[in-house]
Amino acid sequence: MKLVLTIAWRNILRHKGKSLVIGVILFTGALLMTVGNGVIAGMARGVEKNIIDGFMGDVVLMSDEQKSDNILLNMMGGSIEPVHTYKTIREVLRAQPYVAKWLPAGKNLAMILNENDATPMALYLIGADLAAYREMFPDNFTVIEGTYPAGTGRALLMPNFQRGEIYNYSNTWFLSETGGVVKENLKKEALEELAALRVSSSIVLMGMASGINSTTDIRFPIRGVIRYNALDQIFGHFAIVDLESYRECLGYLTAADMAAQVPQEEKKLLGLEGESLDSLFGEEMLAEAPRTAPRAAAAAAPAVSVEDGAYNVVFIKLRSGANSRDAVKQLNAALTAAGAKVRAVPWNKASGPIGGMALIIRGALFIFVMLLFSVAVIIIVNTLTMSALERAPELGMMRAVGAQKPFIAGMFLGETALLSSVFGGLGIALGVLAVRVIPLLKISTNNDMLQLLYGGNIFSPVLSLSAIALTILQLAAVTVIAALYPMLVAARITPLDAVTRD
């Protein structure tokens, strides 16, 4: 082996031109493969982080009656089935050691009822206890106008992106009720019409839940305007509203509805069936009731808890280090056993096309790396094969003095391996350095597709030890595959070839 490597190194020095060509190809390939793997890993981590930490958690609970797992951006506008078993769900979640926190919420479409006879349009709503929502997702958006609602009461947070889309349809610019027009936030078209700009600090919405005939037109005061800190043009379709108003708008049972108590006499009456109804017409019912003192005041209604009433989803964040696949499996078993009538779905399935798009982009980047892999192999094979044929007299002479085919083949593999180790190693080292430096440049974008590629609004590739190991394996595979055919050509050269070619 030592002799083979010694001869291989001498041959590299003797044929500097071809060795340099192969070295540059290996260096470039290793560099691009390293950066490519870093981009793939960074995108996967970034998309996962922004969706999990900023919008829907690791796991989403939804009704067993919900047909599709996609509850984020269902393109056909289908509504999300309501969930009425939150108290049961809550007890199940409390018992799971891998669950860190959770947030019950409403998620559905509402129709914007335009007061100026303009084309109506849909708006996605997230209904939640606003204090709990902020605690669950503390860094997912920034309030750019107005304030975040501090207490209870009807409130809506308007996404800045969707505000611009609404303006295109309604020619109305929505703003916070506590502030005026902020020129820096105006669309170009709105800024051009500033003098005659129609503004409003409230919006009328009508819920669009299927199978419910009691949706209500609700006028929401716009407490603030928000901009999502990442993937704003995706998450920017969602307005956030207080939970009770959301339920009222969608026609669901509110907490106040659940707290209302039916008088005991009415419960008794409603419970009568069949022959028991005859008792309604008995003598006791016909007899005049004795006059008595006025009935004492009814007991005070129980306190209203926001946990009562209907939801559509429960967003769940897992503890650090918890395996999401195992957590979903265990959670579904526990929920089924408790009769909660919901199922647990991982974030990438619940996010629908967003999770799918991330996989598509990741696959495209992987194909790019493989194409790079293939091009490098083809060029190196061609260069080494030409080198073998040009060195036929030399190789034939080596065969004549006793060199065996494995020795000749090993010599070519050794040359390729040495070039790969030196130039490929430098490429990997420079690629690792590039991946570390790129995030420091704070390269940002507002483009949706680029944000998916970036894993957020800032380009942040990342390399783990496993990603570096994958690059080394890819480089080793390029080295072996590229050397196979030239090794075969060199091993077939005979002493007779040396004489005839000389």
DSSP string, 306-330: TTSS-BSEEEEEEPTT--HHHHHHH
What mean pLDDT is predicted for residues 13-21? 75
Alpha carbon distance 327, 33 (integer Å) = 34
- Whether pLDDT at 4 is above 70: no
Alpha carbon distance 8, 14 (integer Å) = 10
User: What is the pLDDT, as a whole number, of residue 240?
Assistant: 96
Measure Cα distances from 271 to 258, 261, 275 in Å: 19, 15, 12
Q: What is the pLDDT of residues 71-96, one digit of tens each?
A: 887 655 578 999 999 999 999 999 99
- Whether pLDDT at 302 is above 60: no
99-103, 196-200, 312-316: the lowest-pLDDT one: 196-200
Name the 3-class secondary structure at 173: strand
- Whether pLDDT at 462 is above 90: no
- The overall longest dimension of the chain from CA atoms, in Å, is 134
Burial of 453 (0-12, 13-18, 19+ CB in 10 A): buried
The residue ranking higher by pLDDT, 396 or 178, is 178
Q: What is the pLDDT of residues 319-361, one digit of tens each?
A: 998 999 999 999 999 999 999 999 999 998 898 777 666 677 6
The residue ranking higher by pLDDT, 417 or 298, is 417
- Parallel, antiparallel, or unpaired for β 156-159 and 172-174? unpaired
H or E element in which residue 91 lies: helix 86-94
Measure Cα distances from 465 to 34, 403, 455 in Å: 12, 41, 20
Q: What is the pLDDT of residues 141-169, one digit of tens each?
A: 999 999 999 877 899 999 999 999 998 88
Measure Cα distances from 403 to 264, 410, 495 in Å: 105, 11, 10
| Mean pLDDT of the residues in the chain | 81
13-17, 310-314, 350-354, 435-439: the lowest-pLDDT one: 13-17
194-198, 219-223, 278-282: the lowest-pLDDT one: 278-282
- Identify the CA nearest to 7 among candidates 414, 463, 462: 414
Q: What is the DSSP letter of 67?
A: S
What mean pLDDT is predicted for residues 112-135? 85
User: What is the pLDDT, as a whole number, of residue 305?
Assistant: 67
Name the 3-class secondary structure at 144: strand
- Whether pLDDT at 225 is above 90: yes
Fill in the amino acid letter for 136: M
Highest mean pLDDT among 17-31, 224-238, 438-452: 224-238
User: What is the pLDDT, as a whole number, of residue 1?
Assistant: 64
172 close to 113: Cβ distance less than 8 angstroms: no
User: What is the pLDDT, as a whole number, of residue 417?
Assistant: 84
- Whether pLDDT at 207 is above 70: yes
Alpha carbon distance 436, 42 (integer Å) = 11
Does pTM top 0.85 for this prediction? no
Burial of 423 (0-12, 13-18, 19+ CB in 10 A): buried
- Where does the pLDDT of residue 43 fall: very low under 50, low under 70, confident under 90, or very high at 90 and above? confident
- Calculate helix-pair angle for 86-94, 324-338, nearest 10 degrees: 130
Fill in the amino acid letter for 370: M
- Whether pLDDT at 135 is above 60: yes
What mean pLDDT is predicted for residues 235-257? 89
- Where does the pLDDT of residue 268 fall: very low under 50, low under 70, confident under 90, or very high at 90 and above? very low
* Token pair recorded at residue 247: 């339920």
User: What is the pLDDT, as a whole number, of residue 132?
Assistant: 93
User: What is the pLDDT, as a whole number, of residue 295?
Assistant: 38
Name the 3-class secondary structure at 75: coil
* Token pair recorded at residue 404: 């065996």
334 Cβ contact list (under 8 Å, min separation 6): 92, 95, 96
